[in-house]
Chain A
């Protein structure tokens, strides 16, 4: 969709920022604006904000902890509160939890090792602006690549997430020890999605699969519907 005004934030140590930008452009037809973490202000009238994967600040503290405090995140929080869709993938998901935009935490993988492989996911919520393009109960295959993807929250939070339909994606196999095999969650309003799998690595046949494409298409379509 022409005029889809997305921003991809680059933190020092982000390394999937280009991949995210390429995916957004391929699907929406418009190149996203690249935003530097030190910029306190985001461009105005954004339709979509993406926090990409990588190792922000080396993740030498807790993964995502430093980035969550960088100047741009104040603007990201404000935009999220206004209802702008925010997608955090991998390190971006870690940043969102550290910033308090999503509940829970991503701990070291249960097996202690970094894991890179394509995993099977169940799509649990097809009502959100990120997932409306998937069929209810669909199984999709999307790559993961992380060291700290072991999702943890207390039982009350987990029950609430489940009860409110905020588990967007669930692993269909044992991957990293996540509570209830959670791979991706939504915020209460449904406009913030954090997920460990990399949808931007599954948008072309040459990637080995295109199951990530529907996520971006959903977001573009949601905006088209909202402005129509």
Chain B
């Protein structure tokens, strides 16, 4: 009699075709433990079966890349024998079901990915997308997610220094919580996951295994049904205190010469960590399930293998190092158990009560894993499906100041102070900047600093997945340049809806093409990332897909942080310049400048037009010029122009510096185009009066590169006074602060 019925297969999230593959890989019918292991390893979350073909198109190499995608996190060289290790990961579904724990464990998981490789985490960042603020669940979700991120990151003592938060109705039933961690390690002390050395002990450390999170990876790989609430038991519970102890214990052990390989137990817990370690080491693995530290009585091997209990790691030690390692973990009051050994069988064998309860050949588990070339719409078909048309007639702004005030008070452009004050942004005493274009932290004990930013403009990606993918990379690049950093590499978190729909697959494929082209042009490779699909929900009655949201985490380096730049206006009398591609400065009736802009959406109520195109050579040129001016000490404030256009950029610089400015309208444009257009590749810079001659001399020297020759300068105005575009700073500040205050505390 068959133990495995079609219903059991379906409840494990496997299709019948995939189950046939299981039978092929195993050469027989699986038992429940084996089926459970196949189901999580072949889930979208762990196998990337719908995205893998297209992820291969991303550039992942540069001379400074030490380790690209495939390990727990990406590793780049930051000079002086040091490396930065970083990754971003999603925790979307759990955060919708249980926002505090979902977000908290998202932070915990990404921290582990980074310290697993030998790095001390030095900064956290995040990218959050919520639905309409007036949605009945949204205030609860925002409060829970923010408290969860803070509750975890604050306790482990890693400063949260960067982030972005958007609101859009498309996220009403499926919010996005993407967390990023950056760590620093010695470049010759990086730890990898490949289990090697026949007979070497396999060691379990950290918290005990409980029944929480069973099938989390499978849940994260399916649409939300009406029963989202019932899935609460699949959300894990975080313990940041244990994580803090685990960080210290692991780093203490890593300073010795005891570890062969190490892997955190993240999604799919003990299953994915043990399978990946053995597979990466081209070895086999034998585990004694009776030795796994358990929190609850009577747990079965099935439950132990599928549990997603947090704050656990798996290590392979060198022989004879067990006692020394155990002493370290005992000192930190953490569990330590030798639970198995590395074998040469190429099989994963689990024993329990003296019986073999699982015997899976690892080669076929990987080789037979499903890989889908899912059909997708062409760019033209997608445009037709999404009904994207050029922007028609748009009336001009009747009152620029009133429109600016209105924009600054919208949820998307409002000050996020209510959020970021709940994060400890200073712990470590190395934070140099938060709240500007990028977060900046010193590399402890050096003159170097790392700049970190998270970016994506989902409404652009929806309107034009290819240009939107480019724009996400370009904006991250711009934000790093704006603080004076040299952009080095990128991690991403690819949040999309159901890839079995051709229009969604088109969003994924075309966005990846755009990101790939941008990364290549900007020499800004992708070194780590995560894919989160099936982000759509029937829970709110709509069957609604999220906007395509390929969130980007960019990292750059400032060699001497004394040169770091900030965005606030500094002194009355400083000259304000626009740095922008020359072609933009020549009025061109074929370009709308306002398509998909915040002004069009929030002031005119029109969600229309094409996303702004991104000229990658111009981005490269503008970035190099800005970095050159910063390095030469000729500018004293820099800010990129993004959501809300030039007017919002000036307003943000004024609020940050506490001083106003006057600026002129270029009459070749309508007021709306000039002040609120969201054309790409632009920065605002300010020059002190004493530097104007030197600044002009540099400009007179001409461009250093071909890309830089695409860029021009225009004098915009002068810093000073207590108003911007004739709006008093006090009114601007009040508008900026009002949204969250009234929503959360009103």
Contacts and interface: CB of A to CB of B under 8 A. Distances in A.
A54 interface: yes
B561 A206 contact: yes
Interface string A79-122: 00000000000000000000000000000000101111100000
Contact of B429 (A13, A19, A54, A57): A19
B425 A201 contact: no
B426 interface: yes
A124 interface: no
Contact of A54 (B151, B157, B333, B420): B157
Contacts of A145: 154, 424, 426-427
Interface string B138-181: 00000000010011001111000000000000000000000000
B66 to A, nearest CB: 26
A61 to B, nearest CB: 11
B432 interface: yes
Contacts, number: 77
B240 interface: yes
Interface of A: 12-13, 15-16, 18-19, 22-23, 53-55, 57-60, 111, 113-117, 143, 145, 147, 198, 200-201, 206-207
B241 A117 contact: no
Contacts of A116: 154, 420-426
B101 to A, nearest CB: 15
B244 A198 contact: no
Contacts of A16: 157, 427, 429
A227 B420 CA distance: 46
A200 B421 contact: no
Nearest to A116: B424
Contacts of B422: 113-116
B423 A13 contact: no
Interface in B394-449: 420-429, 432, 442
B669 interface: no
B332 A12 contact: yes
B467 interface: no
B429 A60 contact: no
B241 A143 contact: no
A206 B426 contact: no
Contact of A206 (B242, B428, B432): B432
A112 to B, nearest CB: 9
B239 interface: yes
A58 B311 CA distance: 14
Contacts of A206: 432, 442, 561
B219 to A, nearest CB: 27
Interface of B: 147, 150-151, 154-157, 239-242, 244-245, 332-333, 420-429, 432, 442, 561, 745
Nearest to B429: A19
Nearest to A60: B241
A192 to B, nearest CB: 23
A23 B422 CA distance: 24
Nearest to A118: B426
Nearest to A198: B426
A195 to B, nearest CB: 15
Contacts of B424: 114, 116, 145
Q: Which 3 A-B pairs have the closest CB atoms?
A: A15-B157, A58-B241, A19-B429
B111 to A, nearest CB: 13
Contacts of B157: 15-16, 54
A115 B239 contact: no
Nearest to A22: B429
The listed residue with most A CB atoms (<10 A of its CB), out of B147, B151, B333, B426, is B426
18 contacts: A15-B156, A15-B244, A16-B429, A18-B428, A19-B429, A22-B429, A59-B241, A113-B147, A114-B154, A114-B421, A116-B421, A116-B422, A116-B424, A116-B425, A116-B426, A145-B424, A145-B427, A206-B561
A66 to B, nearest CB: 10
Contacts of A23: 429
